[in-house]
Chain A
């Protein structure tokens, strides 16, 4: 994300901390479509994604003062809130959640993220702030990349990854771990 937009969003968060409702409205307008997309990818149910989004913005409003610009970019901060909330949502001890998360509507997520076709990587390559990340993801072994991409975008756990990728749990865990290590190393150099 370009520095100018980061500054605008950080300023809006600052204004939210001072209870500026107009700033909150602008913050929502400029970020909600992305965050709703993120929640939808993980939860795959619009009603859940709507609830999560609602809860997250209410909490962003209440806790905007705790945003620390030095630690995270604004969009990273807000996206983390949404992703964490989605993951916690899926952990609810609730049958509805256990049974109700549509299993891709018969659609194999592997089709969305084939290991040979970079898919989202092309998108990342076009985005200024994610270019390096896209490049480093591209350099991973295909299986490592696939595991990381599925975990991030679809919110799959290790065991879900194992069943989707039809590989033993231990193998998948190793791919994730090694993939993350290599990503870190790569991002430190590019």
Chain B
């Protein structure tokens, strides 16, 4: 690594990392080095102690009450132990968190990644209630999509989809799409915000009226970049080209419900 044996360079990078001016790929590279190098982590911690007290001058703003409610429900607090959904940290909550956030800034990342991987589940697993984490009073943060028939100029609701933010299971309901022609199936697509960017397949709809589609990653990853979804008619098993080839029969917004 180019920075090794160059304490001045290390110090400069650590300072800019903490200040926030180290960006893009340089920041990612630096975070990778941090994971491997305890001395570098100490250097970052020292810069944290130097610069972060600047935050003392930031005006306090009380966050809305809903933030705390959401945090509590995400950590599985307050519900009786027997029925609370396992406070199972999602991928994002654990390893990716350390990887991407450079919390390593404060040291001990390597030990920590190990600790996270090895740490036993923090609450008793209750498999029965894990599938949809529905707390008693509030809906979990979710993505919800409502698709309308393109033939009716968006008048007729024909399809619903729902996924918990941290889940990779997309629950779908065929409200009024009917069934696909023989040897054909319906395929669900994410439409990127950028005009001209190609739709991405989210999967083939199950033949039943209700069912699930397994997303490639948690909804936060898989759906975040798609403000709208669409359904097209494709060969059974899905488009062979990776792009929609048949007619788009339904389309609608994909929204965050939180």
Q: Which residues of A contact B (CB under 8 A)?
A: 1, 19, 21, 24, 28, 32-34, 36-38, 40-41, 49-51, 53-54, 57-59, 61-63, 65-68, 71-73, 75-77, 79-81, 83-85, 87-88, 91-96, 120-121, 123-124, 127, 129-130, 133-134, 137, 148-149, 151-153, 155-158, 161, 176-177, 180, 183-184, 187
Size band of the B side of the interface?
35 or more
Contact B56 A124 (CB under 8 A): yes
* Complex Cα–Cα for A83 and B102 (A): 10
A sample of 25 inter-chain contacts (CB < 8 A) reads: A21-B78, A33-B60, A36-B62, A37-B58, A59-B97, A62-B94, A63-B116, A71-B45, A72-B45, A72-B49, A84-B102, A87-B23, A91-B24, A91-B27, A93-B225, A94-B224, A95-B194, A130-B54, A151-B21, A157-B23, A176-B21, A180-B16, A183-B50, A184-B11, A184-B50
Let me know if B101 is at the binding interface, CB within 8 A.
yes
Contacts A34-B55, A152-B20, A155-B20 given: A84-B50 contact, CB under 8 Å? Answer: no
What's the A-B contact tally at a CB cutoff of 8 Å?
Answer: 197
Q: What chain A residues lie within 8 Å of B20 (beta carbons)?
A: 83, 87, 151-152, 155-157
Smallest beta-carbon distance A72→chain B, Å: 5
Interface of B (DSSP majority class): helix
* Complex Cα–Cα for A38 and B93 (A): 21
Residue of B nearest to A124 (CB): B57
Q: Digit string of B12-55 for contact with A (CB within 8 Å is 1, else 0)?
A: 10011011110110010000000000000010010011111111
Q: What chain B residues lie within 8 Å of A92 (beta carbons)?
A: 224
Q: Which residues of B contact A (CB under 8 A)?
A: 11-12, 15-16, 18-21, 23-24, 27, 42, 45, 48-64, 66-68, 70-71, 74-75, 77-78, 89, 93-94, 97-98, 100-103, 105-108, 111-112, 115-116, 122, 192-194, 224-225, 227, 258
